[in-house]
Amino acid sequence: MQEIFKNYPDVVSVPQVSKMLNLSIPVVYRLLQDGELRAKKVGTKYVIAKKSVIEFLFSEVDIERKISG
């Protein structure tokens, strides 16, 4: 089985998550603020484990609702 997102580091930034999931940066921030995507805040920036992105990808979150507001 091939590893998902193997070209990304183990810890990613908001812009990287945006590219990984093909979502806008504001939508990624909404997912973080709503607790749908797990992350740590370090200073003013979020750091997101790649594992959290993968778990989110396979979760039951209604992403269409998040995108539309």
pLDDT in the model for residue 43: 96
46/6 Cα distance (integer angstroms) = 21
pLDDT, one tens digit for every residue, the chain (69 residues): 358 899 999 999 999 999 999 999 999 999 999 999 999 999 999 999 999 999 998 887 666 665 665
Sign of torsion over alpha carbons 22, 25, 27, 29: positive
pLDDT in the model for residue 58: 87
pLDDT in the model for residue 1: 36
Element (H, E) at 11: strand 11-12
CB neighbours of 15 closer than 8 A, spacing ≥ 6? 25
pLDDT in the model for residue 4: 87
pLDDT in the model for residue 60: 74
11/64 Cα distance (integer angstroms) = 25
